[in-house]
Structure 1
Amino acid sequence: MTLGDILVKGCRDYPENVAFKFKDREWTYKDFEIQTNRAANGLKKLGIGRGDKVGLLMLNSPYFMICYFGIVKLGATVVPLNVMFKGGEVVYQMNDSNAAALITAPMFMPLVSQIRDRMETVNNVIVQDIDQENSYAGTVSLKAILEEEEDSLSLDYTVTVDDIAVFLYTSGTTGNPKGAMLTHDCLVANADQTRIATDSTEDDITLCVLPMFHSFAWTTCVTLPLMCGGKIIIHEGFVPQAFLRTIVEENITIIAAVPTMYSVLLQVPEVNPEDYKKIRVAYSGGAALPVEVLKKIETKYSIRVLEGYGLSECSPVCTVNPWRGVRKPGSIGIVLPGVECRIIDETGRDVPRNTPGELLFKGRNVMRGYYNLPEATAEALRDGWMYTGDIGYMDDEGYIFIVDRKKDLIIVGGLNVYPREVEEVLYSHPKIAEAAVIGVNDELRGEMVKAFITLREGETASEREIKKFCQDRLANYKLPKDVEFVAGLPKTSTGKILKRALKS
């Protein structure tokens, strides 16, 4: 099944079901199918076809989804762009992917206009001018495409499950970002694997506030509910009060959030947990969820949070705590159906249970490689196994626990310190809202531990107080030797703390 087949099936099996709602307007599965066909026909007239790449720079909206599915129905490849990008970052990904076109929204046109001449292969800029009377000079009107093109799509070639559907550029913590190539089969398989693990059905109503350009949102909040015939409520971004109000008003059953969003929700006053009892699945991903945050969010809202794990190269979900059965706080759960996991030591040998090592994953959801980077592909993919660079262990019942990122490991006097262990202790301090730990150079011990901390509103604390708190809970070599209080921690648009920014 291709991504386009999901919509064909939806239009056939439940044409009048609401596929998604944005603000006060609803689109049925039949509406959605027609709109994606029109988008595909318009792109085809512009010369976009199988194997071409198309950038997508938009906030969450129905038009992001319509354009995405229009692109992949042609056998072309989507290059989703982070809406927080500066000009040089957009130029890099457009040029690296050899993108033939860029689809964007009016709010991004000042940026796009400045960099258009630097995007070497982009022949057309299509603008989401839905709510505007005037189009931009030298651009193509998405409004005209969606109003004037044919409702059905006729192709003179076949789109296959092995066609590359999307390039997901990794965060680039080591060197320039790399375009992970994911096929239709990768994305469809991963959505189905997650569906089975969470018992998702046509009756579920999913709230999408995570950015659609990110794989976590696209799989759990878009592809999966569409596969089931469910309903998606779209928000442009995360606004706590609007998020909570929508959960109640729309009878939301599935939410997905990153740990920093859950931390923010803990600070919302006067919450009635009865209002959120219809939430069936609350995903957490994108970064490690501190156990203290998990416990507090479950108590405050009376919901059951399922922490999972994934990476862009795996479409992205690899593991999740099961919806039915045992859920272990602090664990990323068990592997999804159809996904295999190995944990190896530095020699490449499998380690025993309860022994930390590097996590490897294998399955239909794993990427085909990095675009135009054979050496990086060969390093990351070996015999079908994706080498994640993350350190974790599997307990006797098959539950996996992340110890830390391999690249974030701190070595103090020859002893390994895993930042997450220190961060878990810091998060248990009642005055601390957020914390991040890194290693900094130390002449005597090689490295030492440094903690960056944001306090809860109205709280004050001293460096001495924080160190004393840790001293009672950690071995001496793990103790933060330096504590820096900051107003906020640098984050990606998906809420993941940028440790490389703290190290600069």
Structure 2
Amino acid sequence: MEHERPWMEQYPETTILSFHIPEVSLYSLLEDTTRKYSDKTAIIYDEDSLTYKQLKDQVDRLAAAWRNLGVKKGDRLGLMVSNHPFYVISYYAALKLGMIVVQINPLYTPRELLEILHDAQMNYLVTEPQSLEKISQLKNSYAFKGLFVTELSSKKDGIYSIHELINCFNPLVDSCLINAQQDIAVIQYTGGTTGKKKGAMLTHYNLVANVLQSKALYGANMFFGEETILTATPLYHVYGMTSGMNLAIYIGAANLLVNKFEIEKVLKLIQTHRPTFFPGVPKMYNAFVNYPEIDRYDLTCFKTCSSGSAPLPIEVLKKFEGLTGASIREGYGLSETSPSTHRNPPDGLMKVGSIGIPLPKTDCRIVDDHGENLPEKTVGELLIKGPQVMLGYWNKPEETNLSLRDGWLYTGDLATMDEDGYFYIVGRKKEMIIVGGFNVYPQEVEGVLYEHPDVLEAAVVGIPDREAGELVKAFIVPKEGKGININELREHCYQLLTRYKVPKQFEIIEALPRNTVGKVLKRILLDESKKMV
């Protein structure tokens, strides 16, 4: 049965619904923008800046250096760098050569990093000086063809300085021939049903499409060659990659890169550089509105802001909009969708608590467990179809076949749609926890807890948190005759997990609630925790 699309009536006149998505490489976006806006500022970082001409020159020089070192199309390049111009340069140089960029959180522990290295069969890695000690711990477990560091104080065997490579090569190297629909541009890791990470394969076409879809929705609120984007969300996160980096390059915006979100520093940058667009997360908006001296700062430069990763409290939204005069438009996305699929339209109806309507060229359904369409205001699984939907999961055909069926992505998220075509996320089939925009998978945390010698059983849930959206809570059943030292258990987790994955709350209990077949009833644990919040 054909499903209805009431959202088609909700697009404002400024939204562009009919547009062509070219089958080109992401690198071609940089080429096109450089031709149009060569002398305009492309990147602002600390006291430095690059024009588009300078940015493309450095991208091309690095690509030439890598080609000289034997890099081939399809080689996997890990990018384990915080927000920095060298992230952008490395990303686009890799894509020019047809490499596959694997985005990696620099905060990963050696254990977490090794899992991705093996799964992606990583050939090369770009990282920062402060991560070299972590990398050295893996030398007996993994070997790279090449290791590149953003800055290198002294020469080391087998390690190349990105800065020196850029300075040593001329920019004359041809772009690799790209099949945009089939060639993978980025592997973005997310969690699997077993707790193991899985890499969403995003093609050049997926990523180009999502940039164009985003621009089409923003319509008259965003002008080519005139905007400044405040990019404080990490570029290694799919949200920062698309809404911060790739969108900026497509529209010829100045990208104000923030390495670490520190509210006082960010406020000063805003006064100096006057950004017009901010893709943020609730934790950042909360920091703005709760800063004691916020009234001293002029934030009226913002025109439009977006928010994702977790629900934005209405009082935070209203206060930020009051301070800036800008609108914050909440949305929704996934690693598997490049990431954006829904947003409250900037010039259209805003519904608080809703993720909005599908982006142009995006189709959605709400279905039951049998894949049948459900009526309005009925909870079911959200399905998505569009040019931004991934090719599949890297080397995981079974996971791919579960998630992609007949062209539809089964998100695992439970949602409803109202009579206007606005969507609302009401829960997750998956038990994923979202902490400040980052995905935490209970199975992974539970696995670490089970490694502690005094732990008999462990269960992890996400409970609401005003600042981070959710926080991780662990329920622990000690082994008989053992006492659990919470501080020791927390330190155990810090040794094996990235900080945002470490439980913020621990509760010692006698037994985990289970059903008749032994499955842990996490809903009971979650309900009890919510009563205590």
Question: If the TM-score is normalised by the length of the shorter chain, which range does it land in?
Answer: 0.7 to 0.9
Stretch of structure 1 that moved more, 375-384 or 159-168: 159-168
- The higher relative CO (CA closer than 8 Å, separation ≥ 6) is in 2
Distance, in Å, in 1 between the alignment partners of 2:377 and 2:399 is 30
1:160 aligned to 2:182?
no
Give 1:216's aligned residue. Answer: 239
Distance, in Å, in 2 between the alignment partners of 1:11 and 1:25 is 19
1:51 aligned to 2:74?
yes
Q: Taking structure 1 as reference, are residues 88 and 149 closer, same or farther at Cα in structure 2, changes over 3 Å only?
A: same
Distance, in Å, in 2 between the alignment partners of 1:439 and 1:239 is 29
* Superposition TM-score, scaled by structure 1 size: 0.82
Counterparts of residues 375-390 of structure 1 (less than 5 Å): 375-390=398-413
Say which SS state the counterpart of residue 116 (structure 1) adopts.
coil
Give 1:483's aligned residue. Answer: 532
User: CA shift at 1:25, angstroms?
Assistant: 1.1
Distance, in Å, in 1 between the alignment partners of 2:322 and 2:353 is 16
Distance, in Å, in 1 between the alignment partners of 2:168 and 2:299 is 43
Query: What are the Cα deviations for residues 375-421 of structure 1, in whole angstroms up to 9, with x where unaligned?
Result: 00000001111111111111111111111112349xxxxxxxxx99x
- Counterpart amino acid of residue 295 in structure 2: N
The answer to whether the Cα contact below 8 Å between 1:438 and 1:450 also exists between their aligned partners in 2 is no
1:175 aligned to 2:195?
yes
Distance, in Å, in 2 between the alignment partners of 1:447 and 1:138 is 48
Give 1:324's aligned residue. Answer: 347
Aligned residues: CA RMSD: 2.6
The answer to whether the Cα contact below 8 Å between 2:513 and 2:524 also exists between their aligned partners in 1 is no
User: CA shift at 1:252, angstroms?
Assistant: 0.8
Give 2:32's aligned residue. Answer: 9
User: CA shift at 1:136, angstroms?
Assistant: 2.2
1:95 aligned to 2:114?
no
Say which SS state the counterpart of residue 214 (structure 2) adopts.
helix
Query: What are the Cα deviations for residues 420-453 of structure 1, in whole angstroms up to 9, with x where unaligned?
Result: 9x95xx85xxxx99765989854699555556xx
User: CA shift at 1:196, angstroms?
Assistant: 1.0
Give 1:293's aligned residue. Answer: 316
Give 1:460's aligned residue. Answer: none
Q: Taking structure 1 as reference, are residues 447 and 224 closer, same or farther at Cα in structure 2, changes over 3 Å only?
A: closer
User: CA shift at 1:80, angstroms?
Assistant: 1.2
Say which SS state the counterpart of residue 67 (structure 1) adopts.
helix
1:123 aligned to 2:142?
no
Structure 2 gaps of 5+ residues are 1-23, 433-460, 476-511
Give 1:415's aligned residue. Answer: none
Q: Taking structure 1 as reference, are residues 214 and 434 closer, same or farther at Cα in structure 2, changes over 3 Å only?
A: closer
Say which SS state the counterpart of residue 430 (structure 2) adopts.
helix
Counterparts of residues 183-198 of structure 1 (less than 5 Å): 183-198=203-218
User: CA shift at 1:133, angstroms?
Assistant: 4.4
Q: Taking structure 1 as reference, are residues 185 and 447 closer, same or farther at Cα in structure 2, changes over 3 Å only?
A: closer
Give 1:149's aligned residue. Answer: 169
User: CA shift at 1:105, angstroms?
Assistant: 1.4
Give 1:471's aligned residue. Answer: none
Give 1:373's aligned residue. Answer: 396
- Counterpart amino acid of residue 124 in structure 1: G
Give 2:157's aligned residue. Answer: 137
1:229 aligned to 2:252?
yes
The answer to whether the Cα contact below 8 Å between 1:169 and 1:180 also exists between their aligned partners in 2 is yes
- Counterpart amino acid of residue 323 in structure 1: P
User: CA shift at 1:140, angstroms?
Assistant: 1.8
- Counterpart amino acid of residue 150 in structure 1: N
Query: What are the Cα deviations for residues 63-113 of structure 1, in whole angstroms up to 9, with x where unaligned?
Result: 011001000100110011111101111111111111111111111111112
- Counterpart amino acid of residue 237 in structure 1: K
Q: Taking structure 1 as reference, are residues 91 and 288 closer, same or farther at Cα in structure 2, changes over 3 Å only?
A: same
Query: What are the Cα deviations for residues 246-289 of structure 1, in whole angstroms up to 9, with x where unaligned?
Result: 22221111111112222232321132287112211111112232
- Counterpart amino acid of residue 287 in structure 2: V
- Counterpart amino acid of residue 145 in structure 1: L
Query: What are the Cα deviations for residues 207-247 of structure 1, in whole angstroms up to 9, with x where unaligned?
Result: 11111101100100110111011110011011111122222
- Counterpart amino acid of residue 382 in structure 1: R
Distance, in Å, in 1 between the alignment partners of 2:243 and 2:343 is 12
The answer to whether the Cα contact below 8 Å between 2:303 and 2:325 also exists between their aligned partners in 1 is no
Say which SS state the counterpart of residue 138 (structure 2) adopts.
helix
The answer to whether the Cα contact below 8 Å between 1:450 and 1:482 also exists between their aligned partners in 2 is no
Give 1:250's aligned residue. Answer: 273
User: CA shift at 1:138, angstroms?
Assistant: 2.1
1:275 aligned to 2:294?
no
Counterparts of residues 341-490 of structure 1 (less than 5 Å): 341-408=364-431, 423=464, 441-442=512-513, 449=524, 483=532
Q: Taking structure 1 as reference, are residues 42 and 331 closer, same or farther at Cα in structure 2, changes over 3 Å only?
A: same
Say which SS state the counterpart of residue 351 (structure 2) adopts.
coil
Give 1:472's aligned residue. Answer: none
Give 1:29's aligned residue. Answer: 52
1:305 aligned to 2:328?
yes
Stretch of structure 1 that moved more, 376-385 or 97-106: 97-106
- Counterpart amino acid of residue 210 in structure 2: N
Say which SS state the counterpart of residue 96 (structure 1) adopts.
helix
Distance, in Å, in 2 between the alignment partners of 1:268 and 1:83 is 28
Q: Taking structure 1 as reference, are residues 217 and 173 closer, same or farther at Cα in structure 2, changes over 3 Å only?
A: farther
- Counterpart amino acid of residue 187 in structure 1: L
- Counterpart amino acid of residue 80 in structure 2: L
- Counterpart amino acid of residue 483 in structure 1: M
The answer to whether the Cα contact below 8 Å between 2:299 and 2:323 also exists between their aligned partners in 1 is no
Distance, in Å, in 1 between the alignment partners of 2:134 and 2:184 is 28
Stretch of structure 1 that moved more, 108-117 or 23-32: 108-117
* Superposition TM-score, scaled by structure 2 size: 0.77
The answer to whether the Cα contact below 8 Å between 1:273 and 1:301 also exists between their aligned partners in 2 is no
The answer to whether the Cα contact below 8 Å between 1:77 and 1:167 also exists between their aligned partners in 2 is yes
The answer to whether the Cα contact below 8 Å between 1:169 and 1:179 also exists between their aligned partners in 2 is yes
- Counterpart amino acid of residue 106 in structure 1: P
The answer to whether the Cα contact below 8 Å between 2:282 and 2:468 also exists between their aligned partners in 1 is no
Stretch of structure 1 that moved more, 2-11 or 257-266: 257-266
Q: Taking structure 1 as reference, are residues 83 and 447 closer, same or farther at Cα in structure 2, changes over 3 Å only?
A: closer
Say which SS state the counterpart of residue 101 (structure 2) adopts.
strand
- Counterpart amino acid of residue 357 in structure 2: I
Q: Percent identity?
A: 34
The answer to whether the Cα contact below 8 Å between 1:344 and 1:359 also exists between their aligned partners in 2 is yes
User: CA shift at 1:309, angstroms?
Assistant: 0.2
User: CA shift at 1:322, angstroms?
Assistant: 0.3
